[in-house]
A and B are shown apart, each in its own frame.
Chain A
Amino acid sequence: MRRVLWILAVLLSHWRRHPMQLATLLIGLISATALWSGVQALNQQARQSYDRAAAIFGGARTPMLVARDGKAFPQALFAELRRAGWPVSPVVEGRVQIDGHSARLLGIEPISLPVEVGNAPTLGRTDLEAFLTAPGQTLVAPETLADLELKQGDTPRLSNDATLPPLKLQPQLAPGVLVVDIGAAQQLLGKSDQISRLLVGNSHGPRKPLQQVAGDRLMQVEPDAETDLERLTDSFHLNLTAFGLLSFVVGLFIVNSAVGLAFEQRLPMLRTLRACGVSARQLNTVLVAELVVLALAAGLAGLVCGYVIAAALLPNVAASLRGLYGAQVPGELSLQPEWWLAGLVISIIGALAAAATSLIKALRLPILSSAQAYAWQDAQRRWLKLQSALALAFFAVAALLLWLGQSLLAGFGVLAALMLGAALLLPSILEFALRLGERGARQALVQWFWADGRQQISGLSLALMALLLALAVNVGVSTMVETFNRTFLVWLDGRLAADIYVSAADEAQARAIQSWLRARPEVEAVLPGGRAETQLAGAPVDVLGLPDHATYRDHWPLLQSAPDAWKRLVPGDAGFISEQLSRRLNLSVGDYIDIPAPGGDWDVEIVGIYADYGNPKGQIAVNVAALTRRFPATPLTRMAVRTDPANVPTLIAALSNQFGLDGRNVVDQASIKRESKQIFNRTFAVTGALNAFTLGVAGVALLTSLLTLANARLPQLAPLWAIGLTRRRLALIELLKTLSVAAITALLALPLGLVVAWCLIAIVNVKAFGWRLPFDVFPLHLIRLLIVALLAAVAASLLPVLRLARMQPADLVRVFTIER
């Protein structure tokens, strides 16, 4: 044991002499762990809240019995089923209004609630006495409490004048849900002796057939393996994960170069240790132990950074998830112990993986071989050919995936294969470019410039690869974001052509508002609309009723249409469908769909396809009169109003006064647009932040590589100084060299980035969201990124170059005396 400690002490002394190298290693590990775990924390937080939403008393995770007509049914059926051996538990559900806020009220029966229904038993059994006995309790999530501006123990009044039992905080609960005892819920919702659904437990035992007990009234609905919310948000999380993984890989590049260099520099030390009688195995064990200790320390720091990153990004992530998918994710981070553990493990595994080659070498170390500081780089040069071959293989995989792959995962696979292939090919391309430069050079110094640059490539290649990847992703993502932004703005303008949007409480009020509006001279048009819900191919679909009016005809953003599409809409046997729906069901203009309607299926010809960005649901647009014929119960409570924009504020004020409408019921076009843009900006703020982080990590990689190379390169530079080049000049040449390789890398990153952007737009977006954007290139963006890359390279090389410029001549002279 003591011996091991001594060996460790000897090994650690290296870091004392090379603190910069230690810093490099730690920075690499920290940044790898930080971004990875930060992203994981975000995903975990979001998934937790989906689980919470899904697990509320068997939301979607438990089989249930529901009435065939979807309505409530008598509670006597509950007892009959129980007596027939069915392990069922009743739930009654409805919506209530508290002070203008709408919430879901859930009545549960905690005693019969099956144990396996999510987190329900802990909810139910903690303080059941208080829950069951008067006055009872209303369980509520902290977020809901904050939204309602109420506190624990309050008994808020509902819009129907009933009073809720005292509020009780229940952190596991999903936001927007109020849970009370079923007896109380029946009273509050006016559903005496009624049940909305029955949850079915999985206890065994003989059961009478459902038909025999309940006749045709009930049917069993099996749980979804994945909730809708999870399905919808998968793409978003995959996006985040991909970024996390990218940063992780870039971080490991740094670790790999740091460990490789440290190993080479420690070779004499290792040799001496071996010569002193330390076995190869012992040495390796200590090397691994050293690495694990470093990885643990860096992992902890990385986790703290990851937490900070996640906490900083979470509000944006939560906002975009809410905006895009209606998913309620709380804005506060709560992490489980597993997260910390996983972060440390990933840090250790990453460090070991990055150091694997060095460790294997140490194991096979011949005692008597002399130290060759560049042996590993030479070996890497030999790898160039193999690397290029590997790169081609990756490209082939990308092509194959593009050809065969259908899923979102395949889309990301194409991206990953392309980027890895390009990264692997980078050293060969750089080598080729520098060789071209060398051939073109006439002057000795210029020739040396190119040759030395080539010689340096192997040392810098990993950092440059990282730079390439980070830049390419930046180009790709910013191109996609910009494309989306433009398309979205144009689309929003078309979609929101009217000036004011009003939503009445009921049809009577809607009629009153309409006649009031029509009497106003400044109102140009009142366009009533409606919306019905139905199901198509098992997924919910909205049917939108559009009035036949120029506002829509002139602006509604149609992607494809049959001739005279708007005219054909009027009779009611034709409709438009959203792009998402057309992709999901593989429908195009000229096809027919059967829309399930209350009076029987409604056969509609598709005469147009329109963009419907940001809507997870499929949508069908038909004439509003046809909609009310086919869906008679559709309330026509929404209306769009055309007027001069100058009249908007006064009109809204008058409307609010006259009908008691508030900001939720009457909105002007500008605010809707502003809100929509905010949602999308927030979404891409997250992407942008991760983008910046990745670029930052790549910059650090470059810096650390240059730093570690700086000392080793003195033998190359000293002769030039000796033959008369000033240190300042030498430093300038070094800077130029770094800049030129960085510039070549950045130039290569541009086309790669455009390919990435194309993949994102044409594959990932289509698969993830169901819409395809036009592919545009934004040259200004590209130039800006190029400059950023060069600035990053300058920043990274500044420290080593300044050091060189200020180096003591004695240090340069010494190179000749201690030549190895």
Chain B
Amino acid sequence: MSASRTIITRRAFAGGAALLGLMRSARAQGFAGLSEDADGFAQVLPGKDFVFPADHGPHPDFRIEWWYVTANLTDVAGNAYGLQWTLFRQAARPGPQGEGFANQQLWMAHAAATRADSHRTAEKFARGGVGQAGVVDKPFQAWIDDWQMAGSDRTDDASLAPIEIAASASNFAYALSLEADRPVVLQGDHGYSRKSEHGQASYYYSQPFYRARGHLSFDDHSVEVSGSAWLDREWSSQPLASDQSGWDWFALHFASGEKLMLYRMRQRSGNYTSGTWIGADGRARPLGPDGIVMTPTQTVEIGSHKLPVSWRVDIPALSIGLATTPLNPRSWMATSVPYWEGPISFTGSHQGVGYLELTGY
């Protein structure tokens, strides 16, 4: 998952940055390979102690960072919906933070709302330093313009709940309350998440136990919804290997209460697969590159992009065998750099819902 998020970072945010004119540097760094300490940003090293609420807030010394929420929802009639709320931060240069408009942080946000017959998206950009976008750790607040993810005095540092998220665009809007009674889950090796055999990594934790309630509107037609939501927090400075072309990522809510995060990084020489199994009690068990089998079963074509939207997922060690189906096969994020991200459901050895993200196609 972290890896797939990185691709989003690299692809979408670098793409957004392309709009901002920053793509050249991002790509140059991407292709510069493994120069890990050449650029002056803070580096991701194993053994970090996570401290909350401080780590809910921004880490401006690292190049990239995001606050990433997805939610699987249903209305009273049982219709399924999905939504996405994402805020990215990227530093244009390392070093001390500039004042006001001289600040080097750039912010980008994506919002999406999905139902079986429709998928709506929007994106925003902002510069840091002047308050148009930013994140504060206590009381937690992440925002860009009038899109926000906001806690209150009641918000618990360990679980980052309760919290409200809201976004609106010309043809959709949503506002959700998120609650959770378990602390956030550190991914990978105590929050140190590897992305490839070459050593690239990120700091990564999640809150997969959010219960969501609120309303969602398509074209001013509003419905009451409730369901599960998942937050990913990740930050890093390290560039990716140049042979990685894209990622397939799953965040799954099992009907029995367990959670599963999986990703497959597509690269020229063998895919790099990883994941985390999270018990209903919140205990995490990292899954190694071996023992996860992810097989596309059906593709759709959107424009010139061929996307594997249905999958067969097998993890023999956990006796898991799943077949996933998208809620809307055309959950295409028509943002400045496009990708596919949408709600899915699965059957097989277990049942449940989740989110799938496909990038680099």
A68 at the interface (CB under 8 A from B): no
A76→B20 contact, CB < 8 A: no
Q: Could you tell me the distance between the alpha carbons of A169 and B145 in the complex, rounded to whole angstroms?
A: 33
A23 at the interface (CB under 8 A from B): no
Give every chain B residue within 8 A of A129 (Cβ-Cβ): 20-22, 24-25
B145→A83 contact, CB < 8 A: yes
Task: Kindly name the residue among B92, B125, B132 whose own CB sees the greatest number of chain A CB atoms within 10 A.
Answer: B132
Give every chain A residue within 8 A of B267 (Cβ-Cβ): none
B100→A76 contact, CB < 8 A: no
Give every chain B residue within 8 A of A126 (Cβ-Cβ): 21
From residue 74 to 116 of chain B, which have CB atoms closer than 8 A to chain A? 92-93, 98, 100-102, 104, 106
A181 at the interface (CB under 8 A from B): yes
B66 at the interface (CB under 8 A from A): no
B119 at the interface (CB under 8 A from A): no
Q: Which residue from A78, A127, A205, A206 sits with its C-beta under 8 Å from B130?
A: A78
A185 CB, nearest partner CB in chain B, Å: 9
Q: Which residue from B100, B102, B104, B145 sits with its C-beta under 8 Å from A75?
A: B100
A112→B126 contact, CB < 8 A: yes
B161 CB, nearest partner CB in chain A, Å: 23
Q: Which residue from A109, A112, A127, A203 sits with its C-beta under 8 Å from B21?
A: A127
Q: Could you tell me the distance between the alpha carbons of A187 and B104 in the complex, rounded to whole angstroms?
A: 16
Given A111-B125, A133-B92, A192-B100: A79 and B22 interface contact (C-beta under 8 Å):
no
Given A78-B132, A130-B21, A203-B170: A111 and B127 interface contact (C-beta under 8 Å):
yes
Size of interface on B: residues with Cβ below 8 Å to A? 27
B20→A183 contact, CB < 8 A: no
B21→A204 contact, CB < 8 A: no
Contacts across chains A and B counted by CB atoms under 8 Å: 78
B169 at the interface (CB under 8 A from A): yes
A83→B143 contact, CB < 8 A: yes
From residue 263 to 296 of chain B, which have CB atoms closer than 8 A to chain A? none
B85 CB, nearest partner CB in chain A, Å: 16
A8 at the interface (CB under 8 A from B): no
From residue 2 to 30 of chain B, which have CB atoms closer than 8 A to chain A? 19-22, 24-25
B117 at the interface (CB under 8 A from A): no
A132 at the interface (CB under 8 A from B): yes
Give every chain A residue within 8 A of B127 (Cβ-Cβ): 109, 111-112
A153 CB, nearest partner CB in chain B, Å: 19
A82 at the interface (CB under 8 A from B): yes
Give every chain B residue within 8 A of A75 (Cβ-Cβ): 100-101, 130
A111→B126 contact, CB < 8 A: yes
Give every chain B residue within 8 A of A125 (Cβ-Cβ): 19, 21
Q: Could you tell me the distance between the alpha carbons of A82 and B131 in the complex, rounded to whole angstroms?
A: 9
B49 at the interface (CB under 8 A from A): no
Given A78-B130, A84-B146: A111 and B20 interface contact (C-beta under 8 Å):
yes
Q: Could you tell me the distance between the alpha carbons of A125 and B102 in the complex, rounded to whole angstroms?
A: 18
A136 CB, nearest partner CB in chain B, Å: 10
B155 at the interface (CB under 8 A from A): no
Closest to A204 in B: B170
Closest to B108 in A: A111
A609 CB, nearest partner CB in chain B, Å: 51
Q: Which residue from A127, A128, A182 sits with its C-beta under 8 Å from B101?
A: A182
B168 at the interface (CB under 8 A from A): yes
Q: Could you tell me the distance between the alpha carbons of A84 and B145 in the complex, rounded to whole angstroms?
A: 7
A85 at the interface (CB under 8 A from B): yes
A183→B102 contact, CB < 8 A: yes
A702 CB, nearest partner CB in chain B, Å: 63
Give every chain A residue within 8 A of B102 (Cβ-Cβ): 183
Q: Could you tell me the distance between the alpha carbons of A186 and B102 in the complex, rounded to whole angstroms?
A: 10
Give every chain A residue within 8 A of B100 (Cβ-Cβ): 75, 183, 186, 192-193
Q: Which residue from B93, B131, B168 sits with its C-beta under 8 Å from A205?
A: B168
B345 CB, nearest partner CB in chain A, Å: 32
Closest to B17 in A: A129
Given A79-B131, A132-B21, A133-B92: A109 and B170 interface contact (C-beta under 8 Å):
no
Q: Could you tell me the distance between the alpha carbons of A132 and B101 in the complex, rounded to whole angstroms?
A: 10
A82→B132 contact, CB < 8 A: yes
A131 at the interface (CB under 8 A from B): yes
Interface string of A54-86 (1 = CB under 8 A from B): 000000000000000000000110111011110
Give every chain B residue within 8 A of A109 (Cβ-Cβ): 101, 127
A411 CB, nearest partner CB in chain B, Å: 47
Q: Could you tell me the distance between the alpha carbons of A122 and B104 in the complex, rounded to whole angstroms?
A: 22
Q: Which residue from A79, A186, A203 sits with its C-beta under 8 Å from B132?
A: A79
A82→B101 contact, CB < 8 A: no
Closest to A181 in B: B101
A195 CB, nearest partner CB in chain B, Å: 10
A212 CB, nearest partner CB in chain B, Å: 13
Q: Could you tell me the distance between the alpha carbons of A203 and B126 in the complex, rounded to whole angstroms?
A: 16
Closest to B101 in A: A183
Q: Could you tell me the distance between the alpha carbons of A111 and B22 in the complex, rounded to whole angstroms?
A: 12
Give every chain A residue within 8 A of B132 (Cβ-Cβ): 78-79, 82-83, 112
Give every chain A residue within 8 A of B130 (Cβ-Cβ): 75-76, 78-79
Closest to A128 in B: B21
B93→A133 contact, CB < 8 A: yes
Q: Could you tell me the distance between the alpha carbons of A681 and B125 in the complex, rounded to whole angstroms?
A: 53
Give every chain A residue within 8 A of B25 (Cβ-Cβ): 129
Q: Could you tell me the distance between the alpha carbons of A125 and B23 in the complex, rounded to whole angstroms?
A: 12
Given A82-B146, A83-B143: A186 and B19 interface contact (C-beta under 8 Å):
no
B22→A83 contact, CB < 8 A: no
Give every chain B residue within 8 A of A206 (Cβ-Cβ): 146, 168
Given A82-B146, A85-B146, A111-B125: A186 and B101 interface contact (C-beta under 8 Å):
yes
Task: Kindly name the residue among B22, B25, B130, B169 whose own CB sees the greatest number of chain A CB atoms within 10 A.
Answer: B130
Give every chain B residue within 8 A of A84 (Cβ-Cβ): 146
Give every chain B residue within 8 A of A192 (Cβ-Cβ): 100
Interface string of A638-679 (1 = CB under 8 A from B): 000000000000000000000000000000000000000000
Having A83-B148, A204-B170, one finds 4 other A-B pairs with CB under 8 Å, namely A129-B21, A183-B100, A193-B100, A203-B170
Nearest first, the 5 A-B pairs at minimum CB distance are A128-B21, A183-B101, A79-B131, A129-B21, A85-B146
Binding site for A on B (CB under 8 A): 19-22, 24-25, 92-93, 98, 100-102, 104, 106, 125-127, 130-132, 143, 145-146, 148, 168-170
Q: What are 6 of the A-B contact pairs (CB < 8 Å)?
A: A80-B131, A83-B146, A85-B168, A111-B127, A132-B21, A205-B170
